[in-house]
Each structure stands twice: as C-alpha cells, then as structure tokens.
C-alpha cells in the first residue's frame, strides 16, 4: 500500500488513560500537516483530543481502548475517534469554521466522533 498526502488511511488503538492525550494530539497534528493542512493542524488536533477525552470519560475507567482512524481522500481529512459504551455523547453536528465539522454518531451502542476537515 502506498501512502500519499492525498490518499491514505490508517488506524490505531491507545489506552484509555489521559497520559496518552499528548501523543494523540501530536499524531493528529502531524497527520493533518502531512495531509496538506499545516495551517489547520492545531484545530484538527484540538478536536481529536476533545473527542479522545470524551471517549475516555465514556469508558468510565473500564480499560476500553480508544480507537482512532485517519482517512484522507481527495477533498477531506476524516478522523474517527471511538471508545467506551456510553450512548449519551451524541450531539448535533457542529461546524467549527474553515471547513472543519464535528459530528457524534452511534455505532452499535458505541459513540464515534467524526471530525472532518475540508482540504484543497
């Protein structure tokens, strides 16, 4: 599989502890910059960390790992963050400006945060 800045997908799991949030932020920022969004990398990273924090809270200390999936297509960078089993995290879709949107989905009882950054 060839990975290019305009076409890639990969996922990872991290422990559901707050100690991993710095690593998650750094990775999200690096991925967004690689995907061509250097100016938007910090905003994407902030949203990914917020979603990871919510997933950690939803796990209520049960040790459920946090799943993070990054996907870059021709027109956007999508990041999916999931963890825990709470269904109360669902919220109305939010637009963060500059092509950044955040939406909570429910995937079989597991909350999934979908962060989308439009890319040129």
- Quick: pLDDT tens for 24-49: 999 999 999 999 988 889 999 999 99
- Confidence band for 108, pLDDT divided at 50, 70 and 90: confident
pLDDT at 59 over 90: no
Which strands form 110-118's sheet, in the order they lie side by side?
Answer: 8-14, 66-72, 76-82, 110-118, 100-107, 94-97
Roughly how many angstroms between the first and final C-alpha of the chain, as a whole number? 23
Please report, for the domain that includes residue 100, its CATH number: 3.30.565.10
Radius of gyration of the chain (CA): 14
Residue 21: both structure tokens together: 């949030």
Quick check: is 53 in a domain? yes
Distance CA 118, CA 120 (A): 7
What's the angle, vertex CA 82, arms to CA 120 and CA 92, rounded to 5?
A: 70
Quick check: is 105 in a domain? yes
- Confidence band for 3, pLDDT divided at 50, 70 and 90: confident
Quick check: is 95 in a domain? yes
Quick check: is 49 in a domain? yes
pTM for this model (two decimals): 0.87
Report the number of distinct structural domains present in the chain.
1
């Amino acid at each position: 599989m060839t990975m290019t800045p305009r076409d890639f997908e990969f996922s990872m799991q991290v422990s559901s502890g707050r100690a991993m949030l710095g690593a998650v932020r750094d990775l999200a920022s690096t991925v967004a910059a690689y995907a061509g969004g250097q100016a938007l990398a910090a905003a994407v990273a902030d949203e990914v960390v917020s979603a990871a924090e919510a997933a950690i809270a939803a796990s209520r200390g049960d040790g459920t790992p946090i799943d993070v999936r990054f996907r870059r297509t021709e027109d956007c960078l999508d990041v999916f963050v999931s963890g825990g089993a709470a269904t109360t995290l669902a919220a109305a879709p939010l637009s963060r400006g500059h092509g950044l949107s955040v939406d909570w989905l429910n995937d079989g009882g597991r909350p999934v945060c979908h962060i989308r950054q439009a890319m040129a």
